[in-house]
Structure 1
Amino acid sequence: MTDFNLNAVARDQQGKGASRRLRHANLVPAVIYGGEQAPQSISITFKELVKVLESEAFYSHIVNLNVDGQVQPVVLKALQRHPAKNFPMHADFLRVDATHTINVRVPLHFINQESAVGVKQQGGIVSIIANDVEIITLPGNLPEFIEVDLAEVEVGTVVHLSDIKLPEGVKIAALEQGASHNNAIANIHAPAGGASQDSAE
């Protein structure tokens, strides 16, 4: 797995005015919370944060956050972006430790889309409904992403959360709430206005 290191500086001033001043100085306001310590307001260099955000793995990975020389393991919990320009405006980080589970959203990687039975043999089209999923796991078991294999999926089949093959020690948060939360994540359907090869026979 990739190692992510991020530098930050503690800040005392809070509020919209203080945040604006930080952004004008090419800094991004952020906060660290969780664990037994009180929440801590910090600022991160805009350029450094933008660089790590370019990596998909950063969003589902433990980050070594160095605040004034003190390194804390954290995960990114929330990111506020500018509505028009899409650059980061504020970040929330959650402290983690090896003995407590965390809830983190991780990307779903759908493999074998083009070679799926429903596509290659039946002429169907893949529709991706969810690009990520919230999981519950200990930090040591945190995956960068979870693969969903569509190879055997046929036209008319809906893939649900319960169909995901999970790594060891990983649970899906929605499924912990009961079967009614077994949401669809993908399907293969016949082309609009036409039937698949299978149904046309």
Structure 2
Amino acid sequence: MSEHTIKATSRAVEGKGASRRLRHAASIPAIVYGGKSAPQAIQLDHEKIWLAQQNEWFYSSILNLDIDGKVESVLLRDMQRHPFKQIIMHLDFQRVDANQALKAAVPLHFLNQDSSPAGKAADVVITHELNEVTVSCLPKDLPEFIEVDLGALKSGDVIHLSQIKLPKGVELPELKLGKEHDVAVVIAKPGRVEAEGAAEGEAAE
């Protein structure tokens, strides 16, 4: 797992007015909470965070948050954006305990789709029903992403949550809730059959 460090500074003044002044100064107000320490108000450089948040790891990795030289392990839990400007309004970070399991959303990376039998077939429609999954694991085992190999995908195949190959130490809490939670992740539908069925339905009407 790669390490990513985000620099921040503590802030004593809170409230809407203080947050507005920070944004005008190209800084982002944020909060760090959780663990045995009290919540702490911080601020971050907007330009650096704007660049960092364009990377997948910013949302799904354990981050080293350097606050005035003191480093804490955190996860991004919430990001508030301006409705139409390219401005990050506020960030929430949660402290993580190295010895305590956590839950986090992890993106899925689909491999070899184009080279699969379904991918090569002109009459097959492949849909990704999920683009991320919620995992449970210790912080050290948290993957930045999970790969789903579609190399053997054929027309009519359905890949379910339980078929995803997970890294060591990683679980999917959803699967513990019952068979009905073993949802489809990828579906390869025969497109031509669907189209013919739709046409026949229209003709019947």
Secondary structure of the structure 1 residue equivalent to 2:195: coil
CA distance in 2, matches of 1:167, 1:47: 34
Name which one, 1 or 2, has greater alpha-carbon Rg.
2
Q: CA deviation at 1:180?
A: 2.5
Q: How many residues align?
A: 195
Q: 1:186 to 1:85 in 2, by over 3 A?
A: farther
Aligned to 1:49: 49
Report the TM-score, using the length of structure 1 for normalisation. 0.88
Deviation at 1:22, TM superposition (A): 1.3
Q: State the shift of 1:86 in Å.
A: 4.7
Does residue 141 of structure 1 match 2:141?
Answer: yes
Within a 5 Å distance, the mapping from 1:1-201 to structure 2 comes to: 1-121=1-121, 123-191=123-191, 193-194=195-196
In the TM superposition, what is the alpha-carbon distance from 1:108 to its structure 2 partner?
0.2
Unaligned runs of 5+ in 2: 198-205
Distance change in 2, residues 1:83/1:158 (3 Å):
farther
Q: In structure 2, what is the equivalent of residue 198 of structure 1?
A: none
| Aligned residues of 2:153 and 2:188 also touching (Cα < 8 A) | yes
In the TM superposition, residue 163 of structure 1 has moved relative to its aligned partner by 1.4
Post-superposition Cα deviations, 1:93-143, rounded to whole Å, max 9, x if no partner, equal 111122111111111001111122223257312111221111111011111
What is the rounded CA distance, in whole Å, between the counterparts of 2:106 and 2:188 in structure 1? 23
User: C-alpha deviations, 1:54-94, integer Å up to 9, x for none?
Assistant: 22122221111111121111111221222223532211111
> Whole-Å Cα distance in 2 between the matches of residues 53 and 91 of structure 1?
11
Q: 1:83 to 1:161 in 2, by over 3 A?
A: farther
* Consecutive unaligned residues in structure 1, runs of 5 or more: 196-201
The answer to whether the Cα contact below 8 Å between 2:113 and 2:153 also exists between their aligned partners in 1 is no
Query: Hey, what's the Cα distance between the residues in 1 that align with 2:176 and 2:86?
Result: 33
Distance 2:178 2:14 in 1: 40
Superposed CA deviations along residues 32-58 of structure 1, whole A, max 9, x for unmatched, are 111111111111110111121122122
- Give the Cα separation in 2 of the matches to 1:27 and 1:64: 19
| Identity percentage of aligned residues | 44
Q: In the alignment, is the contact (CA less than 8 A) between 1:122 and 1:155 conserved in 2? A: no
Q: Amino acid of the residue matched to residue 44 of structure 1?
A: L
TM-score, normalization: structure 2?
Answer: 0.87
SS in 2 for 1:75: strand
